Structure 1
């Protein structure tokens, strides 16, 4: 019995940080749904139209802004009712046209 105790402790220690990353759902004006998760402080994973985009944090005047794969994900606020927009993102670093305007469920 004592032999299993250290193995159990090892299993618990290996699983620290194994909790799944929460996913947040946003309802867009177009009726599209966007799901976003934030696996670490630098990354957003945005699921839109059956594709997942991995975006990296970027400078913003307010809210949280992530860019990559020619898209930009910008959120303001937290909890239900928080605003989010998906934009085109230009190669020169500027924000393009709005793709979706959404609210967190």
Structure 2
């Protein structure tokens, strides 16, 4: 019975760890998150960070969003939490909202450039 409880506790711990936002996991490891500020063509500012090769964290309208790498013909495209963030090189980005059920944004993208 003790080994079963230990197994259940281990599974619960793993499940909860998987639910923690990447930024929190990154910070827990003592690694700083480096944010890049982007100025967009519509005047807004987007901040982006990349805690690992598969994740982009963006701050839009004062809210943080976690996006995950998605299939792209060129550049790096991330989707999730209602947003698409597509970067080309280290300085250019494009932001677009995702409608419910979309995996590729149908709305026009807003061009953004790193400051």
Root-mean-square deviation (CA, aligned residues, Å) is: 1.4
**Aligned twin of 2:98:** 89
TM-score by length of 2: 0.68
Aligned partner (choices 59, 64, 67) of residue 47 of structure 1? 59
2:42 and 2:96 map into 1 onto residues whose CA distance is 14
1:50-99, CA deviations, whole angstroms, 9 ceiling, x for partnerless residues?
10110011010111100001210000011xxx211111224142322135
Q: For structure 1, which runs of at least 5 residues remain unmatched after alignment?
A: 1-16
Q: Which residue of 7, 23, 27 maps to 2:39?
A: 27
**How many residues end up aligned between the 2 structures?**
86
User: Normalised by the size of structure 1, how large is the TM-score?
Assistant: 0.74
What SS is found at the alignment partner of 2:46?
Answer: strand
Query: Higher helix proportion, which one?
Result: 2
Distance of aligned partners of 1:49 and 1:61 in 2 relative to their CA distance in 1, 3 Å threshold: same
